[in-house]
Amino acid sequence: METISTARAHGGCQGVYRHRSSATGTDMTFSVFVPAHDEGEVLPVLWYLSGLTCTHANVTDKGEYRAACAAGRVILVAPDTSPRGEGVADDPAWDFGQGAGFYVDATAEPWAAHFRMWSYVTDELPALVAAEFPADMARQGITGHSMGGHGALTIGLRHPDRYRSVSAFAPIVAPSQVPWGEKALGGYLGDDRAAWRRHDAVALIEDGARLAELLVDQGADDQFLAEQLRPELLAEACEAAGIDLTLRLHPGYDHSYYFVSTFMGDHVAYHAERLWRTT
Amino acid sequence: METISTARAHGGCQGVYRHRSSATGTDMTFSVFVPAHDEGEVLPVLWYLSGLTCTHANVTDKGEYRAACAAGRVILVAPDTSPRGEGVADDPAWDFGQGAGFYVDATAEPWAAHFRMWSYVTDELPALVAAEFPADMARQGITGHSMGGHGALTIGLRHPDRYRSVSAFAPIVAPSQVPWGEKALGGYLGDDRAAWRRHDAVALIEDGARLAELLVDQGADDQFLAEQLRPELLAEACEAAGIDLTLRLHPGYDHSYYFVSTFMGDHVAYHAERLWRTT
């Protein structure tokens, strides 16, 4: 692992790092904020998965999470959204290919060689974080925005024992039923829609996946709300499954980091409270 | 004035605007955050002047001021740092020319035609803000970072009745005595060092300018501290002049927005307390 930069921020250390990923077969860049902590102490870890077109840098610059992570004493890890670079397949559209990995392990060509973001985010990067940072991997939470909200929900639903807390900002809750998701899941996984269900939060819940509770914030003036995000589908699935969903619809807010940063403090506090809770 | 973008953020409105400036003879872009407020209510205004290479966008993206401005009920205005565009003189160096206006009205050629950031920031833009936003111009404060800290200090010192509160992040306190300032003041104002004194905070204090109090934060690991910033010169001048300077040196912090954003909340609260104080 190579350190690209570190800086003191809100009493902790904001770093950006690069490593050779065996999952993706590429170099991958990610950021980690580690709050102030005692020598030898380990802290809970909150994963933040980013949306379409983003890298680690968007939330690192605009997410306004550091003050809340310092107060809540939680490490925040922000991975990239896809493999990148020469020799990696790409698509001219902004919602597919590089910058749009959708947190799946692609099985269709030409994507299968590198687009293995599920394995990267759930296996390889956690092992690296555990080895290199003062992280207590027994206390992990996960959140994300838009495509990254999709990632957080599906990863959380499929690992209920690993992630103690799950939340999302304006997530794609049912990719099988919306244009962004149909394009991405069809492109990366092929036409067999049965395979898509393991990467669709609403379908996972319908198929029996369970979480005790879930926090979702959504801007009511989000330009993607009606066509791509459709939080009502998540609400219906949670209602039917008995999942305690807190879904907050915020008048006036759009899909941008102005929205994410406004509610970031609430999400970090939500995770911190659950990750530090002694049960 | 043209609206480039607006978005709901932290309960208020973060906008970016463009207008034709008569001071600079160019289009100028700036950002304004207006917190939630009652119909017809006016709010105090905090000016934030940015540093070398920056536009309005750096602090707007990375400054983490919106939560504090919402809590303190203060409008924040972030101007650009120079005129820009075709037909505007420039210099290949990053610390002179476009992006480096130094908050002076240039008198030397080829800069005098457009580089009139003093007039722009102290006269033209305040008039526009007063006309277009719910701003109480009787309650203004000013702050800034690096070159913008220089701007905030010199503008504040020369308008003690207009700005009720003045602060700075890692300011260039004595441009006449450091390489960045000697290059910029010499380039924009010519070789007559007497003319520089009105754009040098330490010289202004030596020449009799006074403020009741001043807040300055500085990273102790700032790479520009010893050669360009030299806060000890400000401390000496304030001490001799009886100005109540709070100068905080923060171990481990550098010159970046990781430093600025860490202490932004303190500065906004400092200004809000003074701007809302009933005297």
Element (H, E) at B93: none
Per-residue pLDDT at B279 exceeds 70: no
Per-residue pLDDT at B31 exceeds 70: yes
Judge whether B222 counts as a catalytic residue. yes
Per-residue pLDDT at B203 exceeds 70: yes
Half-sphere exposure (Cβ direction) of B220: Cα atoms closer than 13 Å: 5
* Contact flag A261-B9 (C-beta cutoff 8 Å): yes
Residue A33's pLDDT is what? 99
Predicted model pTM: 0.96
Which structure tokens are listed for B145?
């970072």
Interface pTM (ipTM) of the complex?
A: 0.94
Size of interface A-B (CB pairs under 8 A): 61
**Contact indicator for A6, A13 with CB cutoff of 8 Å:** yes
Residue A37's pLDDT is what? 97
Question: Where are chain A's structural domains?
Answer: 2-275
- pLDDT over 70, % of chain B: 100
Count of C-beta atoms within a 10 Å radius of residue A87: 9
Kindly report, residue by residue over B169-199, the tens digit of the pLDDT: 999 999 999 999 999 999 999 999 999 999 9
Mind telling me the catalytic residues of A? 146, 222, 255
Judge whether B146 counts as a catalytic residue. yes
**B9 touches A: beta carbon within 8 Å:** yes
Residue B120's pLDDT is what? 98
Per-residue pLDDT at A279 exceeds 70: no
Residue A131's pLDDT is what? 98
B105, B200, B217, B222: the catalytic one is: B222
Per-residue pLDDT at A238 exceeds 90: yes
A7 neighbourhood in chain B, CB within 8 Å: 253-254, 256, 258-259
**DSSP H stretches of helix in chain B:** 56-62, 66-72, 117-119, 125-132, 147-158, 179-189, 193-196, 201-206, 231-241, 257-276
Q: Which superfamily does B2-275 belong to?
A: Alpha/Beta hydrolase fold, catalytic domain (3.40.50.1820)
Question: To the nearest whole angstrom, how far is the Cα of A187 from the nearest Cα of chain B?
Answer: 33
Interface of A with B in 232-251 (CB under 8 A): 250
Residue A189's pLDDT is what? 98
Per-residue pLDDT at A228 exceeds 90: yes
pLDDT band at B278 (very low <50, low <70, confident <90, very high): confident
Across the interface, which of A9, A252, A254 has its CB nearest the CB of B262? Answer: A9
Spell out the long-range contacts of A233-238 with Cβ–Cβ below 8 A and sequence spacing 24 or more.
A233/A173, A233/A174, A233/A177, A233/A202, A234/A153, A234/A171, A234/A173, A234/A174, A234/A201, A234/A202, A234/A205, A236/A202, A237/A201, A237/A202, A237/A205, A237/A206, A238/A205, A238/A214
**Which of B69, B221, B258 is the best substitution to test chain A (most A C-beta atoms within 10 A)?**
B258
Question: To the nearest whole angstrom, how far is the Cα of B108 from the nearest Cα of chain A?
Answer: 38
Kindly report, residue by residue over A93-152, the tens digit of the pLDDT: 999 999 999 999 999 999 999 999 999 999 999 999 999 999 999 999 999 999 999 999
B265 neighbourhood in chain A, CB within 8 Å: 67
Across the interface, which of A10, A64, A258 has its CB nearest the CB of B14? Answer: A258
Half-sphere exposure (Cβ direction) of B267: Cα atoms closer than 13 Å: 33
Across the interface, which of A61, A67, A262 has its CB nearest the CB of B10? Answer: A262
Kindly report, residue by residue over B221-257, the tens digit of the pLDDT: 999 999 999 999 999 999 999 999 999 999 999 999 9
Kindly report, residue by residue over B122-139, the tens digit of the pLDDT: 999 999 999 999 999 999
**Considering chain A, what is the average pLDDT of its residues?**
98
Q: Which residue of chain A comes nearest to B11, CA vs CA?
A: A262
Per-residue pLDDT at B220 exceeds 90: yes
